Structure 1
Amino acid sequence: MTSRTLKAALPCSAATAIERLRDDRVFPDRAAEIVSVQDAGDDLRHWTLAFRGGTARWTQRTRDASGEQQPYRIEFEQVDGDFQHFGGAWTCTDTDDGCEAVFEVGYRTSVPHLAGAIDSAVGRVLVRAAHHILIGVGGTARITAGGHHLRDLPVAVIPEGSPSHALR
């Protein structure tokens, strides 16, 4: 299984960030990599992700996992689709100057003998989409971990002063 994590500092409260992350139907407006997110009943959504000239499709269940241990958390998991396994979470924690937002995803593609190449490419697309979503949520997103997955983005897209910008 492959996993990716992206952490960013946002200039809004954790409650505001998680509320904005709950409305995943607007994600295609924020991240060009996400072709569509459509209601599939109850807590299910059909997702289509642009990938290497084609698409990856899946249906995922999303649930609010907020509680005493972690007050602002959304978990998601594929129930059907192109991945052998796909799941993760958005977690937001208040800080002195806003919040830290964390995107975590674990996945396994359905082509085991090509997993090294495909999993890496899928991971870059997923992290890039998460980065764009976080910018949409907070207006700015200073990357604090996982920026190495964004090295293929143009410098102008990565905020000045972020660790991934310094890698250029």
Structure 2
Amino acid sequence: MPSVSIHVLSPAVAPAEAYRRISDFARYPELTRTVESVVVLPPAADGTVLSEWTVHFRNGLLKWSERDSFHPEQLAISFEQVTGDFAEFSGDWLIEADGEGTLVRFLADFDLGIPTLAAILDPVAEAALRTNIVTILEGLLGDAQEIVVEPETADSARS
């Protein structure tokens, strides 16, 4: 299954504040034209939240609902698609201190569910996801920049 690992450094925002901003999914459409809408539903009894996403992709829209689990004590958010256009979509937001600033890691696995076109669509989807996440984080955190991490390091960071 394809995966994407995005690391963004924000030197001026503290980790707890970065987590608070990233957790506010409803603001994402304000930060990039690619995110058409995000509807965040009230929390379930177990503390998870359902969010409904509509995102521009190529010449159309991708729509999905995901279950989000917030872990403020670990500065982490996990998500997993419940229904929608992906065959599978899940991942994590991980926020940690880096000097006086913050390192944000967005890690996701996805499957568009079209095996015959995977060689063409998967790289396009990964690039679109990378661009959107970096744009969102720039909007949320201000002076934020993507940093390149070797694939072995990125994969081990998820374990």
- Give me the TM-score of the superposition, normalised by structure 2: 0.85
- 1:60-79 matches, cutoff 5 A: 60-67=66-73, 71-79=74-82
Following superposition, the deviation at residue 97 of structure 1 comes to 2.6
- SS of residue in 1 equivalent to 2:133: helix
Does 2:140 correspond to 1:137?
yes
1:26 match: 27
Structure 1 stretches of 5 or more lacking a match?
147-168
Cα deviation 1:116-147 (Å, max 9, x = unaligned): 1111111111111100111112101121126x
Contact 1:84 1:109 in 2 (8 A): yes
Report the Cα distance in structure 1 between the residues aligned to 2:75 and 2:117, rounded to whole angstroms. 36
Report the Cα distance in structure 2 between the residues aligned to 1:65 and 1:77, rounded to whole angstroms. 15
Report the Cα distance in structure 1 between the residues aligned to 2:8 and 2:100, rounded to whole angstroms. 12
2:62 match: 56
2:50 match: 44
Contact 2:25 2:40 in 1 (8 A): no
Contact 2:95 2:103 in 1 (8 A): yes
- Give me the TM-score of the superposition, normalised by structure 1: 0.80
Q: What amino acid sits opposite 2:17 in the alignment?
A: T
- SS of residue in 1 equivalent to 2:124: helix
Following superposition, the deviation at residue 20 of structure 1 comes to 0.4
Contact 2:32 2:135 in 1 (8 A): yes
Give 1:109's match in structure 2, choosing from 88, 109, 112: 112
Following superposition, the deviation at residue 65 of structure 1 comes to 3.1
Q: Percent identity of the aligned residues?
A: 28
Contact 1:32 1:129 in 2 (8 A): no
Report the Cα distance in structure 1 between the residues aligned to 2:94 and 2:40, rounded to whole angstroms. 22
User: Over the residues paired in the alignment, what is the CA RMSD in angstroms?
Assistant: 1.3
Structure 2 stretches of 5 or more lacking a match?
44-48, 150-159
- SS of residue in 2 equivalent to 1:83: coil
1:154 match: none
Report the Cα distance in structure 2 between the residues aligned to 1:20 and 1:51, rounded to whole angstroms. 24
Contact 1:134 1:140 in 2 (8 A): no
Does 2:14 correspond to 1:8?
no
